[in-house]
Homo-oligomer: A and B are copies of this chain.
Amino acid sequence: MTNKEVTITEVCPRDGFQSVSEWIPTEEKVRIINQLIDCGYKQIEVTSFVHPRAIPQLKDADEVLKRIKRSKDVKLRALVPNTRGLERAIAAGVDKVKLMLSASDSHSISNANCKTEEAFERFVPLVELAEKSGMKVGGSISVAFGCPYEGEIPVERLVMICEKYRSLGITEVSLADTTGMANPVRIKNNVRELRRRFPDFTFSLHLHNTRGMAFANAVAGWEEGIVHFDSSAGGLGGCPYAPGASGNIASEDLIHGFEEMGIHTGVSLNRVIEAAKDIQQSLPQYVDSFLLKAGKCSDLSASPKAQQKVQI
């Protein structure tokens, strides 16, 4: 309940970039990732090794990984949907791969063309190969707090999925509120139950601000002992079901909020703001960030002259 340190994984280069329809040139991706590497994150989700037809934006993943700078302080994580993706991730020398499946069958069918349990079967050879290669594997659960097709996800469904992950030897699991359907009560109830049932797991929260509750959900998770969070610089990464709606919580907003609460992230907020501003220069229509509009709480204004203005 009283953790005063949290860890933020920066996901802009994966979750953010994949939502951008215009091609982002490889050198631009490399430049942004290098800037993010300098921010002090312990982990960055750098790309997704998916088939180029599935996400054309990330087709240069191998090239990007060759060209970015490496730092021993920053773990690089990549999403892999299958064994071919894992092979590419191994060749690219990432530190960790993440598997992804959906809490609901309907979202799973939409994303992976198969039901949730079938998705696990496809993971078996992948996990075997990862073990042989010494590659760390984490898992994630999309739409964990609500599915846009089915609504609320029963916690027992999350428990079943975590059991499946455990059977594959995976105990690091990201709970993703993919379309921003969580609320603080649901976060607390589900996180408490999952942490009780899986005390050996490391859970993280991947929150979207679709309905304005992302930061409240982060705080709710933190109050239940979660210390790992994903976020995206500039708030890049939208909601696929409501064009124009907010998506990923912006890293600068999450870091600023935590730091204001006295919870340390180890990330340089000023550098993240600079990186987000840089992203805003290239991709203004994709940026969605409170901090870039309002500035930090500590950015005080000059003391004013008396004015005839009423504000409350």
CB under 8 Å from chain B, chain A span 111-148: 111, 113, 140, 142, 146, 148
Tell me if B111 and A293 are in contact (CB < 8 A): no
CB of A268 to closest CB in B, whole Å: 18
Q: Once the chains are docked, how many angstroms separate the CA of A174 from the CA of B293?
A: 26
Tell me if B308 and A53 are in contact (CB < 8 A): yes
Whether A23 is near chain B, meaning CB under 8 Å from some CB there, is: no
Q: Are A293 and B244 also in contact (CB < 8 A) when A54-B310, A140-B312 are?
A: yes
Give the copy number: 2
By the criterion of a CB under 8 Å from any partner CB, how many residues of chain A are at the interface?
Answer: 80
CB of A65 to closest CB in B, whole Å: 18
Q: Once the chains are docked, how many angstroms separate the CA of A181 from the CA of B300?
A: 10
CB of A279 to closest CB in B, whole Å: 17
Whether A184 is near chain B, meaning CB under 8 Å from some CB there, is: yes
Q: Once the chains are docked, how many angstroms separate the CA of A254 from the CA of B106?
A: 29
CB of A53 to closest CB in B, whole Å: 7
Whether A311 is near chain B, meaning CB under 8 Å from some CB there, is: yes
Inside 8 A of A260's CB, which chain B residues have their CB?
A: 183, 185-186, 213
For this complex, 11 residue pairs linking A to B, each with C-beta atoms less than 8 Å apart, are A15-B312, A54-B310, A110-B309, A146-B297, A149-B300, A180-B294, A184-B219, A211-B256, A245-B293, A246-B290, A246-B293
